[in-house]
Structure 1
């Protein structure tokens, strides 16, 4: 009780400073009174931050999801974090924290934590893709650690943005073998769970990551193409490593597809639901499928939270990335049909619908008739697509016959 009372008094004190000081800084660009109650590095950060950040904003800006997936796949931090994933998940779950890893720009690449805390964190975009550098999100532990190269903690209203006043954050930078800052590790929770021991935990985890960075192979060494898994799941399902088929059963291809499409991974319960829905399937059957896939990948799947730890390329992921960049030409070239068309797994069906809608909308928005013609090969009963192709094809274009024939069949059936 005494500790909570102390935290309440501390929170009230910093809220009072925030209420007095932020309006001064917004008006004059400098504090005329009350700044002495705030740590010097925080006051300086508030001054810098107010040039680009509205204290009333409700969440962090977000970077394109496809770009974030690519950054995390290529990040030198990914393998060390994957090695420590079980420990990171355990600490976050047991202590009620959300743990995040960023790149050197302050963009979050990976998070873990319990469902409730992650949901709260996602409301302010403390999730993969969220930008937490000082220019984007003002004073916070991540931005301070990146700027100073030293561990930082920020409690309640020490955050410039009011939406973060319910949080406390503990953060430390991760240095590469050459001394450069590669990103930061942050542990965040609600202000009433503030605990000075959290910083020592963060420091210990960062030290473990840095040890792995020093002992593993150079992070920028070119990947051996023979080690990369290639997953084709549009129109059919097939996985190969180099030129060798992996020989996966349909259920294992479904699992691999879901893990490719959701690089942050699944809790065991959520993955099981995505595969089986409400069907009564034993835990041993589910675990056997995971184990077989893990063996086929030579490991490649984290244990506590199922996520890929092996280099993998996937046609469905590449289609989504192209669409996010407005590249309909590449998306249509790669799209060879519905996602695992014979699968009835609920998670696959959801992604199948999302992909079909996204590709179809790109086709209907395109002024290139070849896009509608190409998509029409995979959508024989889609009259709107065939009509769109006919509208775009000029008279005398021999391809009008193809579009007209498809439309006639669709209307007849």
Structure 2
């Protein structure tokens, strides 16, 4: 783009931003809807005079990066990422799903600029921490995003242009984070967003084989059955993913929760309750499962004949040992959302309440921030945590206040 055209675009962005800061919704016709929405979110959480992004705990960030499949993938394509950064004088960043930067590399000029605003490993770049930016938009919208100049909420990055694209697990489709490319606004180029997409695909293609999603439950670590049931429904046998329908997953989950085994009638009651479903229908589901499990499902009673690990057991074990933050990390959300199995509905309530009560009793700020991403309307947990932090400059405070404001709208 010609410099004069870029300067006009920059002035338009500054005009829209100034209108929003001074007159709020009067900026609506001047800016893209996703930018206006993010400005509104940002305004509720931070002031425009924010000087830098808050930093997460350094050792916690490093530990997460070491345990992330993203580290392996980035290391495999690091030469390409570095070359892109150097050739375009960009700063390249890779984040986790909460928009915390895990890895960066910058060209000579942009590296220095990035350091002054904590665009570094550990920097929290969600819009509740540092205002509207491409990393946050790509994370929340799960789509490539560009933010130009004063489309950023915080003036500290009004001289930047950023392109970001989400990075997904190639097997499960789960979002693992985003990759962002940033430089100064006057170096804006139409190919920027496409380059971010290409870099994201490059990282996805470099994921370690056998990886099935991030988290504390390692599906391929030991032989046996591994089930992720909180917020999703994924099952592996000896490291290989099983393709099961919803009802088969529910049956298998109940068998996993009852290692002593279940009779046909008891299993039927747990799965269907008082629904008018025949025993033959359940037998057919069990028969399919037996085949998928290579025959490792016995009859009379129905019982799994291999080691079993679930994220439900992991979360409850962590809570029992008082490791609340680790339990929240492992808690992906509601157990099999939408299930109509009475037994699983009851278990879902038990796990959700257990996590919530643990946080109310011990509202660790970083754990609460992660929890409210999964339970955004649980204002009581946020309020208890903010009360505990009253008068302290903890970096979680603006995040939690922003979340509280958003939940009350």
Aligned counterpart for 1:182 among listed residues 176, 184, 190: 176
Q: Which deviates further from its counterpart, 49-58 or 101-110?
A: 49-58
How far off its partner does 1:188 sit? 0.2
> Counterpart in 2 of 1:211?
205
**In structure 2, how many angstroms separate the alpha carbons of the residues matched to 1:76 and 1:142?**
19
Unpaired runs of 5+ residues, structure 2, are 223-409
Aligned counterpart for 1:55 among listed residues 48, 60, 67: 48
**In structure 1, how many angstroms separate the alpha carbons of the residues matched to 2:120 and 2:220?**
29
> Counterpart in 2 of 1:198?
192
How far off its partner does 1:216 sit? 4.8
> Counterpart in 2 of 1:46?
39
- Map Cα deviations across residues 244-273 of structure 1 (whole Å, 9 max, x no partner): xxxxxxxxxxxxxxxxxxxxxxxxxxxxxx
Aligned positions, number: 217
> Counterpart in 2 of 1:34?
27
Aligned counterpart for 2:116 among listed residues 123, 128, 140: 123
C-alpha change, 1:82 and 1:221, in structure 2 (3 Å) is farther
Aligned counterpart for 1:82 among listed residues 55, 75, 81: 75
Q: Does 1:101 align with 2:94?
A: yes
2:6 alignment partner, SS class: helix
Bigger relative CO (Cα 8 Å, ≥ 6 apart): 2
1:163 alignment partner, SS class: helix
Aligned counterpart for 2:160 among listed residues 142, 145, 167: 167
**In structure 1, how many angstroms separate the alpha carbons of the residues matched to 2:174 and 2:22?**
36
Residue pair 2:89, 2:108 contacting (<8 A) in 1 also: no
> Counterpart in 2 of 1:66?
59
> Counterpart in 2 of 1:18?
17
Please tell me whether Structure 1 or Structure 2 has the larger radius of gyration of its CA atoms: 1
**In structure 2, how many angstroms separate the alpha carbons of the residues matched to 1:183 and 1:160?**
21
C-alpha change, 1:106 and 1:52, in structure 2 (3 Å) is same
**In structure 1, how many angstroms separate the alpha carbons of the residues matched to 2:132 and 2:95?**
16
Residue pair 2:20, 2:27 contacting (<8 A) in 1 also: yes
> Counterpart in 2 of 1:359?
none
**In structure 2, how many angstroms separate the alpha carbons of the residues matched to 1:49 and 1:199?**
23
How far off its partner does 1:84 sit? 0.4
C-alpha change, 1:214 and 1:78, in structure 2 (3 Å) is closer
C-alpha change, 1:216 and 1:114, in structure 2 (3 Å) is farther
C-alpha change, 1:4 and 1:209, in structure 2 (3 Å) is same
2:36 alignment partner, SS class: helix
**In structure 2, how many angstroms separate the alpha carbons of the residues matched to 1:77 and 1:71?**
10
**In structure 2, how many angstroms separate the alpha carbons of the residues matched to 1:203 and 1:84?**
14
Correspondence 1:7-406 to 2 at 5 A? 7-25=6-24, 31=25, 33-176=26-169, 177-213=171-207, 215-218=209-212, 220=218
RMSD: 1.7
**In structure 1, how many angstroms separate the alpha carbons of the residues matched to 2:165 and 2:84?**
16
**In structure 2, how many angstroms separate the alpha carbons of the residues matched to 1:42 and 1:15?**
13
**In structure 2, how many angstroms separate the alpha carbons of the residues matched to 1:160 and 1:61?**
15
- Map Cα deviations across residues 37-79 of structure 1 (whole Å, 9 max, x no partner): 1001111111111111111111101111111111110112111
Q: With structure 2 as the length reference, what TM-score do the two structures score? A: 0.51
C-alpha change, 1:214 and 1:69, in structure 2 (3 Å) is closer
**In structure 2, how many angstroms separate the alpha carbons of the residues matched to 1:108 and 1:128?**
5
